Structure 1
């Protein structure tokens, strides 16, 4: 055994001893941490630098709780680092002492081996004295083997203990690295808090300036508010005056409407009232036109033309105008004045055309209202004439009504005869014909249902072929869908085949029983009445057989429908489950991709 290997074994043994002490320290740290090993936390742990002190002095603008928290955590980390460094120094001292002990033992073992080798040489030289010294040599060999085995066991224990101590040291190194990283992270957070505090201080200064500006703007707004309040009071007074004026205007409009209604009841000014209605119940008098009317001349308006008339009071001929010409719609009057104010009384060719265009639209509306009023009066008069004609029928209408009544009676009689003939149809037909016809109808309906099922089968086959040709992005969904469609198609085909077989079997049984019944009737008839005489089959028996056939067919149809409905429900459920599964897979894929 070399000296280096022996020292390694001794180092491992020292490591095992240190690991044992470390375990004792973890179980009861009070045995190893005395007053000399305790670390004191510095009271003035200024980790933030001058910025942190500035943050303490300006406590009105930022919260200093993160600094205190960081200092406390840093003190704890520092205390733990001191304990770990003290423990590492103790472990290194123990390792050094164990190495020294291993050196001493190795020296003693070397001396013992040298002494044994010299003893062997002496024993070889002393061949004559080998007999009485053989026992001593064997004793020394046994002692040597015992020492060697004990030393090997000691080396094994030292090696395992050293390996354990090395693992513990690696764990402690990782813990120290983690605490250092945590300390760096805390320092980074303290730096961020310091920068945030500076920004908050600058923000506070900016906010102070903004507050001053807002206060000045607020004072300005207050002055504007006082001025606006004064203007609002004045506008309220003017609005009240305007409201009073509008009330008076509404009263005047009501008075004017009342006067128009009164004029409509007169024969002389009835047309004038209609003109007012056609002008949206609002007309204006042209007072600045120096034209005389029948009212100005104090004459009656008997004539409808503009020409000189003789006044009955004065006897003079005066040129008078029709009163209707001096009244225009208020809309036209207002538009003309607004047009004059808008263009400052300057009229060009374009403006004149625009003026005429707008006036033409106003008079067109007036003419439309006139036509509407005339149409309404004509319609009311037409309705009254129709009512009069309805209450006074002519001779032709009377004759037509009599003819219609006679034809209706004949039609009722024909319906009655038809119903009686339909009720007596069984007497004219042989017994059992009705059931045979019903059976043929049912058979025809079954063939139609079979044909529809075959058409549906063809459609499903085409859909399956299209689904096979269609390329889905997700192969799992395609396989599930195609498998379900194929399964559903096969089930429907099998049910259709089963229904067809049942119908054929029932029809065959019905024909067999019917032939057997006819044969029995013929046999009974030949035996009872002689050959050549046939008796009518029993209607009740035929009815029971037909009922049996119809019940079986209905039962088969109901069973087929229930199975098809059940297949549809299962297929819908399978499709919903498949879609949900595909959605779940897609969501899981999306989540996995998002994690990466």
Structure 2
């Protein structure tokens, strides 16, 4: 009988647990959808960064090629200048009549120097542009690495969420199956409870177990305590009702003892814990005795009322004596009449 209450309590907590599990799964699914959207966005950003990196690499390659070409031109110009300077020295040694050619050559040489300066300035600008492109390339490459790391982290998070969802779904399935089995058990408990109540009423209606029925009713439910040394079947049959009552205790006391052992059986208890337990036991026993006294009082009151009704309908003692005396006199009178009739017959 006490299992019914505990099963109902577990049923409510399991329903709350199933509801919380469903809400957790909804939250996990919502979070997984958000992560999938963020993952798709990160992949788009990665593709865009890769495209920008490819364009930057192409620009860098073209710039490096142009710089190489300009370096080759510079080397060629330097070679030509050195050649012209060598030829100029030779001409200056050979003849002073070639001043005009020298001036022309010097003009050409100056022109070449100006071109070289211009080319060097262009190369310098190209170097600056190349440094800027290289810096942009490194920044984009770092962004790409960060995006890859975020994608890896979100992928792991997504996998963990999927595992949690599967675990929660499995837990809900197990909970649903256990709820079905608990529902069947609840029906059985209800049947057992109804059967026990009917059996108790039948016992109370018998002469032999009427006292035990009143004892169980006053206890508001009882529990049987198995004996340490089991008796034989003959002893059980011959046992008195008062002895049978010694093996049954109120259901509330059994519940209190079970709670005390569950709470303090492994961790130990102190004196105030035991005092509290004894107070609760005393309350349970006093409630049982109070209910039993109420039943006995009601029973006595009913018997008193029955006796009062019987006394009200019965004659008084003096009336009974008078009726007895009248009956005796009637008997004597009948006897006298009989004797008188007998005497008359003799005279005749």
TM-score band w.r.t. shorter chain: 0.3 to 0.5
Which fold has the larger relative contact order, with Cα–Cα distance below 8 Å and residues 6 or more apart in sequence? Answer: 2
TM-score of the two chains, using structure 2 as the length reference: 0.47
Structure of greater Rg: 1
Give the TM-score normalised by the residue count of structure 1. 0.29
